Amino acid sequence: MISTKTTLAGIHFDNCLMNAAGVYCYDASELNQIQNSMAGTFVTKTGTVTPRTGNQVPRYRATHLGSINSMGLPNKGLQYYMDYISQQQKAVPHKTYFQSIAGFNLAEDEYLLAQIQASDFTGVVELNLSCPNVPGKPQIGYDFETVEKILTRVFEVYRGPLGIKLPPYFDIVHFDQMATILNQFPLAFVNSVNSIGNGLIIDSLSERVTIKPKHGFGGIGGDYLKPTALANVHAFYQRLKPSIQIIGTGGIKSGQDAFEHILCGASMVQVGTALHAEGPQIFARLTAELKTIMYQKGYTTLTDFRGKLNYLD
């Protein structure tokens, strides 16, 4: 029997495929669709202290190679997602769910984590350190000192399984420096990567940008992102202590893409741009395609090939 089940933070998931935060997770109607799909679980839209409407539309555009977005963190507020997860924990108790969160400063991070700690939440927290789209707010993941400061405080106040969503890095020294910081903490996982921040996709016919916020600048996902995502997954897989697992996100639209992320070291894989394009039935297709590749290669579990990327020397 070929299986795509996985374990993360000591928790079992029937399938390693799930949505990426921001796609099909804004409200109960979208989350229900992921719940009713082949996805192993769901992550919510990143929840903030209070609800946000986000940036002006149009704020998402797909192309044949991927997507650009400047959503600006539209979300219903942490409490909404906590209530939804609480319901799901009761309705479907054999599954474990991910709550994505982001504060706008350390005090807000502490507040969000205190709310979760005080609730009946039994899931996994994904702290988003990489939103590229809030005007005037730089991506925390590129400020190494602040990352260390935040994680120091996070693990003083929060006891449950928690990981972080990181932006892509593009320099070997940055992989080394970030891994040295992350290895100091009892992180359950690192999710690599968020979108490539502040790209620009233009329409040459109209000579215009394609999304309205920030004069068209936005986070890039899809095919454009996959090689960068694979590099980040593998770089952190090589450098992080074994107790910090990797979630691979970026450019997954086929079973082969998921296979490659796992080969680079991912224990779980998330689908963003392709899920937006194809809808939650994509999880059945991706699972079947991944199983076909595993069958052809004689693999029965993800551990048969996870992280076993070969080099040319």
Binding site for ligand RRO (CB under 6 A): 22, 46, 69-73, 128, 130-133, 194-195, 219
Cβ proximity to ligand RRO: between 78 and 290 the closer is 78
Question: And the tokens for 221?
Answer: 């996902």
Q: Are the CB atoms for 109 and 153 separated by under 8 Å?
A: yes
Closest approach of Cβ 36 to ligand RRO, in Å? 24
Closest approach of Cβ 51 to ligand RRO, in Å? 13
**Residue 306 and residue 260: Cα distance in Å, rounded?**
9
Closest approach of Cβ 69 to ligand RRO, in Å? 5
Cβ proximity to ligand RRO: between 214 and 261 the closer is 214
Is residue 194 marked as binding? yes
Is residue 195 marked as binding? yes
Is residue 250 marked as binding? yes
Is residue 69 marked as binding? yes
**Residue 74 and residue 55: Cα distance in Å, rounded?**
7
Q: Are the CB atoms for 4 and 27 separated by under 8 Å?
A: no
Cβ proximity to ligand RRO: between 22 and 163 the closer is 22
Closest approach of Cβ 134 to ligand RRO, in Å? 7
Is residue 72 marked as binding? yes
**Residue 64 and residue 118: Cα distance in Å, rounded?**
45
Closest approach of Cβ 138 to ligand RRO, in Å? 13
Measure the N-to-C terminal CA separation of the chain; round to a whole number of Å: 34
Question: And the tokens for 16?
Answer: 């390693």
Catalytic residue among 16, 25, 131, 264: 131
Is residue 273 marked as binding? yes
Q: Are the CB atoms for 220 and 65 separated by under 8 Å?
A: no
Is residue 45 marked as binding? yes
25 is catalytic: no
Cβ proximity to ligand RRO: between 70 and 99 the closer is 70
Cβ proximity to ligand RRO: between 95 and 165 the closer is 165
Q: Output the CA torsion 285→290→293→295 (10° steps).
A: -100
If phi > 0 it is left, if psi is from -120 to 50 it is alpha, else beta; for residue 81 that is alpha
3-state secondary structure of 137: coil
Question: And the tokens for 159?
Answer: 């006891």
**Residue 40 and residue 225: Cα distance in Å, rounded?**
23
Task: Mark 194-227 as b/e (b = at least 16 C-beta within 10 Å).
Answer: bbbbbbebeeeeeeebbbebbebbbbbbbbbbbe
**Residue 160 and residue 187: Cα distance in Å, rounded?**
10
- Summarize the annotated binding site for substrate as residue ranges: 45, 69-73, 128, 194-195
**What amino acid positions are annotated as catalytic residues?**
131
Q: Please report, in range form, the residues annotated as the binding site.
A: 45-46, 69-73, 128, 165, 193-195, 222, 250-251, 272-273
Annotated binding site for FMN: 45-46, 128, 165, 193, 222, 250-251, 272-273
